Amino acid sequence: MGEVMNTTGWSALLMGLFTLSAATGALRKPGIWQKLVQEVEESPALQMVSGLLELFSGATIYLLNPWIPSDIVACVMKTLGGLMMIEALAVVGFSDIYFHFWLKNLSHMHRGWASVTFVIGLALAVLGMVRLGH
Going by the DSSP 8-state scheme, the letter that residue 103 receives in this structure is H
- The whole-angstrom separation of Cα 9 and Cα 13 is 6
Give the 3-state secondary structure of 3-62.
CCCCHHHHHHHHHHHHHHHHHHHHHHCCCHHHHHHHHHHHCHHHHHHHHHHHHHHHHHHH
In this prediction, residue 113 carries a pLDDT of 87
What rounded mean pLDDT belongs to the chain? Answer: 91
- Mean pLDDT lowest for which of 17-31, 89-103, 119-133? 89-103
Q: What is the pTM for the complete model shown?
A: 0.86
- What's the pLDDT band for 1 if we cut at 50, 70, 90? very low
Residue 68, SS3 per DSSP: coil
119 within 8 A of 126, measured Cβ to Cβ: no
Whether pLDDT at 108 is above 70: no
pLDDT tens for 16-56 read 999 999 999 999 998 888 888 889 889 999 999 999 999 99
Q: How many residues does the chain have?
A: 134
Q: Domain ranges in the chain?
A: 7-133
